[in-house]
Amino acid sequence: MADVVLVAARDEEERIGATVAALREQFPQAEILVADDGSRDATAARAEAAGARVLRLPRRGKGQALTAAEREARPGRLLLADADLTGDLRPLTAADADLAIAAFAARRGGGFGIAKRTARGLIRTLSGIDAREPLSGQRALSPAARRAVFPLAAGFGCEVRSTIDAARAGLRIEEVELPLGHRATGRDLGGFAHRARQLVDALLGAGPTAVNHRGLRLPVVGWLAGLGRDVWPVALIGLADDVWSGPERGFREHLGSGRTTGMLKLVGIPAVGLVRTRSLSGTLLVALSSNALNQLDTKPGRALKAYLVAASAVGAPRRLAVCLLPYDLREMGMLGDAGANALGALLGLNSVSRLTARGRWIAIGVLAGLTLLGERHSLGALIERTPVLRELDALGRA
């Protein structure tokens, strides 16, 4: 049986009441918790009327909504269910597995199977598991599986990544065929758009991820800043820090710990600056700009806003930053060290060609001062204590 049932819902007012009522009948002792992911209709009210506890959230995505709800739920065994589900999930919770996944006995609707085949391939490649239903949202988790897979990957990537995480943790995984039904998506524009989102989210969810300040697990997409540019080695160094970094923060902690990914950045990023600029001032500008932007990457959109302001002054490219900003602000993706360091290095490189020799050393002095300030005090905390900066910093954030 399940101790907690989590349902992620968005604009499901026509179906959520029946779904909650059926789950309450099947699991009368369980807590039914609906994560309302920014619905624009009466989904939350209908779920409450049917007897569920509702967590009202800004629209972020399925994985983020379920993660927020899981933190609010009581400990124990967990059942995840889609908001448009019909059928009995009790056999799923009776399975002798840490992660039991429902396989639909009959297929209804669907497209050409591209998203599902890709998801299967990702799971097989990264975990060795052959999954029949890689995208099924009906999942029963033991307490061990709950600890292994939460926080979930973002969006529709949560199912693929949770299977991978459970397999990597050495947990028992079983697929249970059940006569279930749900709202089918057809081969129309809406159906193809939905499956395209599933495909993109699965690819991102299976890649590098990091946990943000709110405890949400987001795909690290900042490495895109290094594609086709002179700063691609910086993006790779930052990505290594995203994937393998320890708890160390700041120069002193990394120097004290010795061999860390932070030490790789301390050596590698200045080396990239030296190779690209062949000058001491250029090396320092690249290294200090990279570190300064990374210090600001502590809240959604903060580093990208700073980059766009600085890029306008030194003539650095802005198109990618403009494209990434809405996703960063809405917590659907994050720069990570890969993006913040690469974009900072890009500012440094453009400053070399744009500034005079005197201007470079003035910029170096300012950046060095920010670095020292950031070692002693949080730059983010200083921004939040300054009224004008605080308002600009919060602009557009969910």
Give the tens place of pLDDT for each residue, 112-157. 788 889 999 999 999 999 999 999 999 999 999 999 999 999 999 9
pLDDT in tens, 232-265: 999 999 999 888 875 555 555 545 555 567 788 8
Work out the percent of the chain whose per-residue pLDDT is above 70.
92
Q: Which sign does the torsion angle of CA 225, 228, 234, 238 carry? A: positive
CA atoms within 13 A on the CB side of 118: 17
* Per-residue CA distances from 394 to 266, 297, 383, 391, 397 (Å): 30, 13, 10, 5, 6
* The domain made up of 4-207 is a member of CATH 3.90.550.10: yes
What's the rounded Cα separation, in Å, for the pair 16 and 34? 9
Query: Does the pLDDT at position 374 exceed 90?
Result: no
By the 8 A CB rule, do 35 and 137 touch? no
Residue type at 25 in one-letter notation:
E
Residue given tokens 């292994």 in the structure block:
148
Hey, which of 95-109, 137-151, 261-275, 377-391 has the most confident mean pLDDT?
137-151
DSSP letter for 313, please: H
CATH 3.90.550.10, the chain: domain bounds: 4-207
DSSP lists the bridge partners of residue 35 as 8, 55
pTM to 2 decimals?
Answer: 0.84
User: How far out from the chain centre does Cα 140 lie?
Assistant: 23
